[in-house]
Amino acid sequence: MIYIDMDGTIDDFRAWVATKTDDLSGPSIEATIVKYYQECYKDPPLIERNRHLLTDFEDFRILSAIPSTKTLLKYCKAEDLDVIMSTLRENKLAYMERLGVHRSNVIITNGSKEKKLYAKKGEVLYDDYKKNIDEWISFGGTGVLVE
Tell me the CATH architecture of domain 2-145.
3-Layer(aba) Sandwich (3.40)
State the average pLDDT for the chain.
84
pTM of the complete model: 0.82
**pLDDT band, very low/low/confident/very high, at 27 (cuts 50, 70, 90):** low
Residues 6+ away with beta carbon under 8 Å from 115:
3, 5, 63, 65, 109, 125, 127, 132, 135, 136
pLDDT at 133 over 80: yes
Q: Tell me which DSSP letter residue 112 carries.
A: G
pLDDT at 46 over 60: no
In tens, the pLDDT along 53-84 reads 999 999 999 998 887 788 778 777 888 888 88
